[in-house]
Structure 1
């Protein structure tokens, strides 16, 4: 299977390494020193089951890679406009595009029944660029669990073995194309279930982002160190509960266990949004934090703690020149 990973940073690099290990014909869209290292020396993934080395074709220009059987988009949300502008050369007539990302996806309301059917989300798809460039018929939803970071150019380190990529069609079908991408990932050692309810999985992952992300940014520490303070661990639980209430208002049912997992988290790993702050990279505030709060307001769901924490995170990001100033 010919698969391009668009955005081969930590998560994308790990996924690409797994695909290569499983025998897929892998290419990468990357940039900077990471791209140069992969072109010169290949891609190395340090994982719980060993160190995996591969030599995928890599370029900053999708035109050099050509049409694919599938594209897996793993960029951070602020880079999505660049994806919309550059993805066309990768798309053949039947190419599927799996958006394996954090936060509320751009396609969330498209084609679903209910009071918000076909509502657009400008915060995560400004100007409808992704909808125009990719379109819902090509789109597969995705959620990834992989505590990974680029430890040096061309080298990705994954902290633990609880890794998986969950895929699902926005309309709830269990499709052959989603199964094909899943099989390619699992052949490389990355579990990849296909679900009939990808929106539930989006929210299940998002509870963790809401529960620990803002607090870790404000504390400037990883999850374990932040949650070592019982008051902050309880604050993380309350944030997850507010996220659960927003999901419920949209018809997505999450359990007490979903919230409990957030409060029980003991990873030393720093959330990616904190890594971005420390490295001076654009932060995923809109997709991870602001979009859920917009949905809270849309549904009339109170989320006072999240409103406060996200406002504080925005101020931290503004001080670092990583988020627009208040007009």
Structure 2
């Protein structure tokens, strides 16, 4: 198999780098400064077991890769707000022997949220869900940092909407040769919905800084409680924290290896890079959407979604708003919701 990593940022770079270390053939897809850096200096993957430089083929789009191979696996690791454009670009690409990528090739959604799989299934016939637990950060163009140890990440993988097959098992076998655990499960979305609940903290981190205060942690608990109520109303199953802990045990720990302070998650990193967009619509916004569909008010997640989008739109750095001010905005929205005004 050849792995085409569509979106060679933090997660895509870490997964692509580890696959390359395991002897797999990897092509990185990137844009702008990241594309230039990868092309000129290669991918530098910083990990607790040392820095690794991988000089891999890199392209800035499907046209540059030409006709795809029949053994290609497309790994979608862009942010969800960029999924539709990526799917439209890669789906029609011809595959050696006939047909298109959308008809013939497996597409793995290695992303936060739960929407990309559904978007992909509109055009791609072979879609796989991957729940990504992998602490990684985009350091600078060409450089990705992954702090997990002894494993770099745990990637639950299965067919979408459900099931497991030989392709999933082949992909998992490749991943597990290179410091990644990849359990193949028939219910990968159950793991992704649990990750969605955890990711409701992302907007708080982005807007008000890394969650270290009791005030910030309490706000996350309120957002998660809304999320749990919404999933219950929608009849959507998700793994419990106890099940996650049993499966992950001590396989992956976050241990900074050079004394650097820990940054925030993917949304925090989007503001730090000045990306101009953020994934809040597919995290807190997913809870808001399901709440409206099933008659459950979601004022906490509504405010977090709005404030995160506002910060991205206005180019604010992460942590520009105090958690006290953010809590006040949430409390005001909750009061209006309760009063019906």
Q: Does 1:176 align with 2:186?
A: no
Correspondence for 1:288 among 283, 287, 306? 283
Q: C-alpha offsets along residues 262-315 of structure 1, whole Å, 9 cap, x if unaligned? A: xxx999331211221232212112212212210111122232322233233333
Q: RMSD of aligned C-alpha atoms?
A: 2.7
Q: Does 1:243 align with 2:227?
A: yes
| Aligned match of 2:6 | 6
- 8 Å CA contact 1:103, 1:289 repeated in 2: no
- SS of 1:187's partner is coil
> For residues 100 and 207 of structure 1, what CA distance do their matches in structure 2 show?
17
> For residues 259 and 266 of structure 1, what CA distance do their matches in structure 2 show?
19
- 8 Å CA contact 2:285, 2:301 repeated in 1: no
| Aligned match of 1:213 | 202
Q: C-alpha offsets along residues 75-101 of structure 1, whole Å, 9 cap, x if unaligned? A: 012222321232133655531000111
Q: Does 1:279 align with 2:267?
A: no
> For residues 168 and 234 of structure 2, what CA distance do their matches in structure 1 show?
25
- 8 Å CA contact 2:73, 2:106 repeated in 1: yes
- 8 Å CA contact 1:204, 1:258 repeated in 2: no
Moved more, 144-153 or 312-321: 312-321
> For residues 67 and 260 of structure 1, what CA distance do their matches in structure 2 show?
37
| Aligned match of 1:99 | 109
> For residues 33 and 308 of structure 1, what CA distance do their matches in structure 2 show?
33
> For residues 99 and 197 of structure 1, what CA distance do their matches in structure 2 show?
14
Give 1:256 shift: 6.0
> For residues 218 and 36 of structure 1, what CA distance do their matches in structure 2 show?
30
Give 1:74 shift: 0.1
Q: C-alpha offsets along residues 54-89 of structure 1, whole Å, 9 cap, x if unaligned? A: 222111032332314211000012222321232133
| Aligned match of 2:293 | 298
Q: How many residues align?
A: 291
Give 1:28 shift: 1.2
Give 1:40 shift: 2.0
- Relative to structure 1, the CA distance from residue 240 to residue 138 in structure 2 (aligned partners, 3 Å threshold; closer, same or farther) is same
> For residues 76 and 255 of structure 1, what CA distance do their matches in structure 2 show?
23
- Relative to structure 1, the CA distance from residue 51 to residue 34 in structure 2 (aligned partners, 3 Å threshold; closer, same or farther) is same
| Aligned match of 1:187 | 177
Q: Does 1:312 align with 2:307?
A: yes
| Aligned match of 2:326 | none
Give 1:316 shift: 2.9
Give 1:188 shift: 1.7
Give 1:319 shift: 3.3
Q: Does 1:160 align with 2:168?
A: no
> For residues 226 and 244 of structure 2, what CA distance do their matches in structure 1 show?
13
- SS of 1:140's partner is strand
Q: Choose 1 or 2 for highest CA Rg.
A: 2
- 8 Å CA contact 2:191, 2:238 repeated in 1: no
Q: Does 1:232 align with 2:220?
A: no
| Aligned match of 1:116 | none
| Aligned match of 2:68 | 67
> For residues 234 and 14 of structure 1, what CA distance do their matches in structure 2 show?
31
- 8 Å CA contact 1:30, 1:58 repeated in 2: yes
- Relative to structure 1, the CA distance from residue 141 to residue 256 in structure 2 (aligned partners, 3 Å threshold; closer, same or farther) is closer
- 8 Å CA contact 1:28, 1:57 repeated in 2: yes
| Aligned match of 2:334 | none
Moved more, 87-96 or 288-297: 87-96
Correspondence for 1:269 among 249, 254, 263? 263
**Structure 2 segments unaligned to the other structure (5+ residues):** 246-252, 256-261, 318-341
TM-score (norm 1): 0.80
Correspondence for 1:83 among 58, 83, 86? 86
| Aligned match of 1:30 | 30
